[in-house]
Amino acid sequence: MSDMQEEDYLGASARCVLFTLENEIYGIHVKKIREVLRVGVIRDVAGTPYNVLGVINVRGVIVTVIDTRTMYNMPSKEISELSRIIIVELDDDRAVGMLVDFVMEVKDIPESKIESLSASKDNASRYIQGIAHYQDNVIILIDVDNMFMGHE
Amino acid sequence: MDEEILQDFLVEAGDLIEQLNEQLVDLEQSPTDADLLNAVFRGFHTIKGGAGFLAITPLIEVCHRAENVFDKIRNGDVPYDAVAVDVILRAFDVVSEGMDLLKAGERELPDNDPVLLADLDRLTKGGSAEPEVEMSVPEGDSVLQLAEGSDPDGDMSDEEFEALLNQRDGGADDETSSPEGLSLAEGVDPDGDMSDEEFEALLNQRDASDLDEPDEVSEEDLTALLSDSDFIAEVAPASSIQPEKTVAKPVSKPTAKTKPVAKPAAESTVRVDTRRLDEIMNLVGELVLVRNRLLTLKSGEASPEDLANAVGNLDHVTTDLQASVMKTRMQPVKKVFGRFPRVVRDLARQLGKEISLELQGEETDLDKNLVEALADPLVHLVRNSVDHGVEMPDVRLAAGKPKGGTVVLAAQQEGDHILLSITDDGKGMDPDVLRQKAVEKGMLDEMTANQLDDKAAFELILAAGFSTADVISDISGRGVGMDVVKTMITKLNGSIDIDSVLGEGTKISIRVPLTLAILPTLMVGFDEDSYAIPLTSVQEIFDYNADKTNKIDGQMMVRLRERSIPLLFLSEWLAPHQVNENNTGDKVIIVSIGNQRVGLVVNQVNGQEEVVIKPLGVMLKKVSGYAGATITGNGSIALILDLPGVLERFQ
């Protein structure tokens, strides 16, 4: 019943792409996402920071791919059939690819369910915008702008 | 403020500013050239018109006065002498700075320096009209009711103007405060929404009223005026304006603070000839036809000839299209050269030298990005020529040369390169002095220094920290500049060549590729991974031969025509996982990086390819050794090596 109520919710909501890393569910707002790609050939670039996997060619534009797991201090994982690269738009001419374990779905999350994390907390929560408790799931919302700020 | 109109204005006025910059200096050489005077007058007038439309008051104020001055000058009422030039150039600088601020996203310009406005007004009233200017003060005071205890020292014309501005803004005040003598009516729209016309009318009225009462000039006034004109002369060198400036500051500061955080970046635009656009459109049409052809061939059973034809056509069309699009990016080098007459004039005046600047090949086209990137290095080189190259007039005369020196700035196309040269007929450089300096600075030991040929000795000036100037001036001589110039030119895949004859002059030549967007490269590979090396740096390629290498102080060197050249094994960096002890079958590519030669050892050489440079994205900008990436014929990504960066990695 409570699920039904949540589905009927008509207030402001944030539409997010949900994906998993290890056992946790993460979400990124759709307005930041250009597309989701299957993992093709990732060209390794020697001498890059450890969390950069390399670059890919997205229709003529060279896009950096990062291992999202390493951004949250998780060990890297082999790329599987389920792995996807989410192309995130930082601004008009900067995009970045985030390798994730598995892309679940697109969901509208009522803003009332989102509990924002105060930015004053320490570095651990630097890339996290907030946490949503929704339909028995805990969804960690990623602040992508913050994540790549200062990483020119 | 309408953003779109503003951007149009910025583009148009930007061009005018560039022209004015050049014209103003030309005008100093030939102050009676009527065409030039008219051009300058029109320039200020057009800028004023645009600024008026957008209500950018500070620009209007300056342009309006400058326009008035030039109106007088072209009518022969006022001479365009050194004092006038300085004031006008200051006014021009204010306009130019204002434009820069607008371009940078600032929307509220700081108020004008009242001294400048007053100086401009004085110029307008110059000659016979001068005495009456001061007379307008008491008159204007009483009639316009502007008094309110404002500045009584006679420097009124400016405040009066401000007050008039206020009156206009006040709207209703207009009616009450406009006095009998200077009424605004005269058929001018009375509802307060008037700008230039009103000012002009008022100014004219004031002029007229001034002329009405010449007999009231008392001796006191005259002496006051004389001391005042002395004051003008003092102000002219632009150093004693400081106090007024601090007055103006508090006004400008708040606007700077309240500036919106989201700065609308200046639109960067290119002007393209419509015929060129038509040409491109036509080629795109062709491209669509070829695509349709290929699509039909795909669905039906195509004969190999048909396919070959279509592909051949495609090749043709894309090549033409590439050339056409590239041309839209081309701009005449004049864009860079335009600023130099002013630079040279100011510097020469400052140093007390007589120098004429000659520009050659201004029409040569080069890539827009290059035009921008070359501006700074060229300014540096020209300043060097003026400061170090050309001697003082007396020294020149003693050496049997004409008193005035010449600096020639030339551009010409050489195949797919542009050759820029800065030539002066100054004192030249002494290679022996350079060698000696290098030893003194500990850059070289004496033996190496003596082995350098003259050319190599001249190139010493490109090294960081090298300066022959015994006295460091604020213009040059710190030994930083040439090093920066060299780095910038190297970044553009260009080269610098220095030629000098002691006592006769110096010529510095810069070669840069026509465009930055497309780069001829040599493709090399390690297994699957391919890398592109800019072809301009590649000198020769040969097979790796272990017999011809030596390990000298831990550094592998290869012998080539009795010289040892250091070897960099790229696989150590690019493919560390597959270190093979045996380099048999590898190739050595000799490249020149700046003034240095090194051999790069690679697994395979895959031939030449013209590549389109694509920037590396987020998190990779700071990784040194790469100039970018490109997509090869088979769709995979090749990384373009940045040789100076590669060298850094190995050091």
- Summarize pLDDT for A85-115 with one digit per residue, the tens: 999 988 877 889 999 988 988 888 888 777 7
To the nearest whole Å, the CA of B642 is away from the closest chain A CA by 13
To the nearest whole Å, the CA of B650 is away from the closest chain A CA by 12
Cβ–Cβ under 8 Å, residues B466 and B458:
no
pLDDT value, residue A86: 92
pLDDT value, residue B397: 85
> Do B619 and A43 lie within an 8 Å CB cutoff?
no
pLDDT value, residue B396: 85
Give chain B's mean pLDDT.
73
Best A32, A48, A52, A62 member to test B by mutation, with max B CBs in 10 Å, is A62
- For A2-147, the fitting CATH number among 3.40.190.10, 2.40.50.140, 2.60.40.10, 2.40.50.180 is 2.40.50.180
> Do B614 and A62 lie within an 8 Å CB cutoff?
yes
How do A94-100 and B505-513 pair as beta strands? unpaired
DSSP B196-255: HHHHHHHHHHHHHHHHH-GGG--HHHHHHHHHHHHHHHHHTTSSTTHHHHHHHHHHHHHH
Beta bridge partners of A88: A33, A96
> Residue A65: pLDDT band by 50, 70, 90 thresholds?
very high
Distance CA B277, CA A121 (A): 55
- Order of strands, edge to edge, in the sheet holding B417-424? B355-360, B405-414, B417-424, B505-513, B495-501
> Do A151 and B619 lie within an 8 Å CB cutoff?
yes
Distance CA B584, CA B572 (A): 16
Spatial CA neighbour of B378 closest among B512, B182, B479: B512
Distance CA B633, CA B528 (A): 14
pLDDT value, residue B309: 85
Residues of chain B with pLDDT under 70: 1, 126-268, 464-480, 516, 575-582, 594-595
pLDDT value, residue B467: 63
């009450």: which residue's tokens?
Answer: B176
Instruction: Name the residue facing A64 among B620, B625, B631 (closest C-beta).
Output: B620
pLDDT value, residue B181: 46
To the nearest whole Å, the CA of A71 is away from the closest chain B CA by 13
pLDDT tens string B379-407 = 888 888 888 888 888 888 888 888 888 88
- Asked if A129 reaches chain B (Cβ–Cβ under 8 Å), the answer is no
Residues 61-120 of chain A with CB under 8 A from chain B are 61-64, 66, 90, 94-96
